[in-house]
Structure 1
Amino acid sequence: MDKETITITVIGVDECPLYHVGDVFHLAGKKLSAPYGKSTCLILVQDITGILMKYECMNGSSRYRFDCSGCGGLARLEYRRSELTEPEFFADDIHSIACSMQKSTFFRIFSEEGFRRLTSLLRKKDYPAGKIIVRKGDPGTGLFIIARGKTEVLGKNNIRIATIGEGDLFGEMSLISGDPAAATVCALTPVTALFLDAGSFRSVFHENPAFQIYLTRMLAHRISATNLLRSREIASGISGNLTEISPLELFQTLYANQKTGVLVLKLPGGLGVASFLEGRLIRAKLNEKTDKEALLDILQVREGRYKFNPGLPPEETRTDEIDNLLKLLMEAARHEQTGG
């Protein structure tokens, strides 16, 4: 069955106090959505309503340009109406797709300027049902934001461990850690995704503290949902082998669970120590190296043993955080990718 999409795009302004060239209004059913991050001009809404009523009655041209009635300024707009089949329901314009998803928590974290910057870096990708989008063991290439459709996350023996859909993200952990993809992601239905490549991801990450916080919370949620038992065991003081859980996963787990204590790592190259205060990294040491330099080396190790000891000496509870741990993990990933 064909579906109709209607967009009204601002193509010119003359001292308009609200809108800029390129801003897009979307009509879904009877609901008109204003451009992302913008308030609604009631005068312009009346003008658009009049245009919609006119063309609904006349069944006229699918494209029409008009001026608003004006308040403190003027805006020139283009009305466009299209009949699209289901696989093509979304426009090719990245900004329009992102605007149509403005209720998504991910897009709401950005300022208007940040949103424009982000959409300028995104690319649209389409996948048929059954297509593998990310394969377990492959290097991370970028961040995927699902605009339409559903995907399944497959673990060991291709067992489905999660289903994710519109507004959800995947691919971010490989970019943060530098490790290969931990699971396979396959399209359950036809999928349209917005793709942010690895280099652009790092730029957006460092430019937007809100994005860092968003990923931190998402990481905590995923760990608690998919790895709760192991998280509890580690946080309770259990020891283990680094061939079963990497240093990166250990740091993520302690961070996400806001644990206080000392992580001791017996590594082939020496003894590593990392102190956590309510999940924040306050000290790291490996032989003669300390803090960021020590952390970079610890995260490269894939063999050895670990033990987490809950609690800190009183003097260490007054120590400042080294840096945001998620930022440090990003630096570690870049360090590994560039060879130091």
Structure 2
Amino acid sequence: MRKVLYILGQLDDMDVDWLARQGRKRQIPAGEVLVREGMPCSSVFILLEGGVEVTIQGLGCVANLASGEMIGELSFVDSAPPSATVTAQTACVVLDVDKTLLAAQLARDDGFARRFYQAIAMFLADRLRGTVRRMGYGAGASLDSADVLTDELDEKLLDAVSLAGDRFDRLVRTLATARAH
């Protein structure tokens, strides 16, 4: 869950409101594929509840993701087809944000674009560190580990995490009032 707090901590309240208004809350049954390796995907997802498995052809399962993760962000950033398949392990709830709408908003609003891409950069950096660590190249902290906060307990970080928690709660409340798809 901490990852989504770092992402929402980079965005402002209007950005989160835009995501809640433009995104669709979707119930995903266990076993449904959200993203298929090599096939274009029209959405970026924020996993609100549940868990998914990430598999790569020829390698098998490379990750299990839980609430607070972003899915489909890499192929949004570089426009390449997804490099993995993401399948719901359990019943999930996601915020489904259409990539076309997101791209248009990023083009329209420079502030949103800066904050969004900064959040994505932090998120992808954490994923890369996790991959490097799993390959045995070092032992750094991830956004999910308690260690990441040990040396970073400054007021700006605490304020951002606190605001992000409030934004996540507001996002979930806003989506709860919208019709689930």
TM class by shorter chain equals: 0.5 to 0.7
The TM-score with structure 1 as length reference comes to: 0.35
Secondary structure of the corresponding residue to residue 104 of structure 1: helix
What's the CA shift for 1:229? Answer: 9.8
Distance 1:113 1:144 in 2: 19
CA contact (8 A) 2:46 2:96 kept: yes
More helix by share: 2
Q: Match of 1:162?
A: 63
Residues 148 and 229 of structure 1: is their aligned pair in 2 closer, same or farther, counting only changes over 3 Å? closer
Distance 2:117 2:36 in 1: 25
Residues 177 and 130 of structure 1: is their aligned pair in 2 closer, same or farther, counting only changes over 3 Å? same
Letter of the structure 2 residue corresponding to residue 137 of structure 1: G
- What is the identity percentage for the equivalent residue pairs of Structure 1 and Structure 2? 25
What's the CA shift for 1:216? Answer: 1.0
Distance 2:134 2:14 in 1: 41
Distance 2:128 2:63 in 1: 13
Computed over aligned residues only, the root mean square deviation of the Cα atoms, in angstroms, reads: 2.5
What's the CA shift for 1:178? Answer: 1.2
Q: Match of 2:146?
A: none
What's the CA shift for 1:158? Answer: 5.9
Secondary structure of the corresponding residue to residue 58 of structure 2: helix
In the TM superposition, 1:68-147 aligns within 5 A as 104-147=5-48
The count of residues paired between Structure 1 and Structure 2 equals 130
Q: Which runs of 5+ in 2 are unaligned?
A: 138-181
Residues 229 and 149 of structure 1: is their aligned pair in 2 closer, same or farther, counting only changes over 3 Å? closer
Distance 1:216 1:113 in 2: 20
1:213 aligns with 2:98: no
Give CA-to-partner distance per residue, 1:251-303, whole Å, 9 cap, x none.
xxxxxxxxxxxxxxxxxxxxxxxxxxxxxxxxxxxxxxxxxxxxxxxxxxxxx
CA contact (8 A) 2:11 2:119 kept: no
Residues 227 and 203 of structure 1: is their aligned pair in 2 closer, same or farther, counting only changes over 3 Å? farther
1:173 aligns with 2:67: no
The TM-score with structure 2 as length reference comes to: 0.63
CA contact (8 A) 2:29 2:91 kept: yes
Q: Which runs of 5+ in 1 are unaligned?
A: 1-100, 233-340
Rg bigger for which structure?
A: 1
Distance 1:130 1:149 in 2: 12
Distance 1:149 1:158 in 2: 23
Letter of the structure 1 residue corresponding to residue 118 of structure 2: I
Distance 1:115 1:152 in 2: 26
CA contact (8 A) 1:140 1:179 kept: no
Residues 229 and 180 of structure 1: is their aligned pair in 2 closer, same or farther, counting only changes over 3 Å? same
Distance 1:116 1:229 in 2: 36
CA contact (8 A) 2:7 2:123 kept: no
Q: Match of 1:150?
A: 51
What's the CA shift for 1:204? Answer: 4.1
Residues 187 and 180 of structure 1: is their aligned pair in 2 closer, same or farther, counting only changes over 3 Å? same
Name the structure, 1 or 2, with higher relative contact order (CA <8 Å, separation 6+): 2
